[in-house]
Structure 1
Amino acid sequence: AFRTATGRTPEKVMEEVHRALRGTRGAAVAIARLEPDGRLLFCGIGNITAALVTTANRTTLMSHPGIVGHQMRQLRTYEAQLPAAGVLVMHSDGLSERWSAADLAGLLHHPPAVLATGLLRQAGTRRDDASVVIARSPR
């Protein structure tokens, strides 16, 4: 559903994914669009974590309560600026939210796959499935 969506904003894509997931168990979903100038557009529903991370800071992005495919009360696309030396981190609830920017500071210059592996090792709960997405600014 995500790959075939035609919406131009994360909010519109989320609406399409919501329609496609009707009749299923539903899901927690985060959709981000990273523009070439570093501008980030984000829409999240459910128990999903998203944060902008630099060596010194972690800024959490807003995800609204709900289950995509069942009930979504509020959809909103938020806009932020991805710091030039920072990354976008999105992960499922299979990882604890108890990690900090300092936990990733030494890994920020590595490829996204290395960052994701480090975060899984640091914050993975081992009681649930886990997914991590790391994105850098294309600048």
Structure 2
Amino acid sequence: MNNHNLPLSVKLKIYIKSKLAYVWSKYHVAPRYYIVIPIEVTINKKNEKFHASIINISRTGVFIETNQKLPKGTVITLHFTFQQEEYCLPVKQISDHTIINSNGIGAKFISDKFHGDPTEAVNQLIETISNMVPPVPVQGS
């Protein structure tokens, strides 16, 4: 879209909305739930497997307790059964860190043509978990 012929006030509104959308996307935090779920992890490119545990989860990502070291950006699939439902959720490793004395990796759920769209399954899982445990309070609230 060519903005050159728009009045300055309209250009300013477009600019502000785009900046607000960017800030919101960077700082909006989905409610996170602490819950321990044993999982089997498959390293997709190598087809290697290891056992680990989900320690906390949100609609956007998960913290996995493990001593397994993975290169940043590694795509893995989490396989587990929770409340009699089976899940296979693709995630991308984004960090190595420690939470409450648990070493592990932070990962975000991914959706693309190669791994499918886990959104419905993640939403179902979070709905089930949210009826069992309260969300972790966000710092500052």
Q: Is the pair's TM-score, using the shorter chain for normalization, greater than 0.5?
A: no
Higher relative contact order (CA 8 A, sep 6+): 1
Larger Rg: 2
The two structures have a TM-score, normalised by structure 2, of: 0.25
Structure in which a larger fraction of residues adopt strand? 2
